[in-house]
Amino acid sequence: MATPRGLAWILFANLAIAVDYSMIMPTGWQYVASLGGSELFYGATIAAFPIGRIVFMMPIGAWSDRKGFFSPFRVANAIGLLGGVVYGLSSALGSKWFAMLGRFLGGCGATLPLSAWAARSYPPQKRVQIESYQKAAQLIGVALGPALNAMFVKLDIKLGILELNPLTCAGYFPALLSLVMLLGFMYGVDEPPSVEAPLVPGSRVEPLRRLSASGAWCLIFNAFHTNVQISAIDTIVAPLTARHLGWSLLQNSALFAGLALISFAGAVGGIIATKRGLKALTLVKIGLLLNMVSATLISISLRNAPDVLDMSFVMAAGVFGTWATLLYTGANGGLYQQACGDSQGFLGALYTMAFASGRPLGALVGGALLDENPLPLCITLPGLVVLALVLQFVSSRRLQQAEDQAILAHDMRQQGGNSNLACEG
- Please check whether residue 142 lies inside any domain of the structure: yes
Q: What are phi and psi of 164, to 5 degrees?
A: -100, 110
Position 236 confidence tier, pLDDT thresholds 50, 70, 90: confident
User: 243-288: per-residue pLDDT in tens?
Assistant: 899 988 788 878 877 887 887 888 889 888 888 888 888 999 999 9
User: 158: which strand partners?
Assistant: 163
Structural domain for 288, as ranges? 7-424
**What is the torsional sign of CA 383, 309, 362, 131?**
negative
Q: Supply the pLDDT for residue 376.
A: 92
Q: Are 263 and 329 in contact (CB under 8 A)?
A: no
- Please check whether residue 297 lies inside any domain of the structure: yes
- Please check whether residue 404 lies inside any domain of the structure: yes
List C-alpha distances in Å: 380 to 246, 366, 369, 387.
28, 10, 12, 10
- Please check whether residue 2 lies inside any domain of the structure: no
137 vs 117: CA distance, rounded Å: 16
Q: CA neighbours within 13 Å on the CB side: how many for 375?
A: 1
Q: Supply the pLDDT for residue 412.
A: 67
- Please check whether residue 1 lies inside any domain of the structure: no
Position 424 confidence tier, pLDDT thresholds 50, 70, 90: very low
Which residues have CB under 8 Å from 15's CB, separation 6+? Answer: 137, 138, 140, 141, 144
Q: Supply the pLDDT for residue 420.
A: 44
Among the listed residues 266, 256, 294, the one whose alpha carbon sits nearest the alpha carbon of residue 381: 294
Greatest CA separation for the chain: 76
- Please check whether residue 352 lies inside any domain of the structure: yes
Does the pLDDT at position 207 exceed 90? no
- Please check whether residue 305 lies inside any domain of the structure: yes
Average pLDDT, integer, range 218-224: 92
The CATH number assigned to the domain holding 235 equals 1.20.1250.20
Q: What is the total count of domains within the chain?
A: 1
User: 164: which strand partners?
Assistant: 157
231 vs 123: CA distance, rounded Å: 32
This prediction's pTM: 0.74
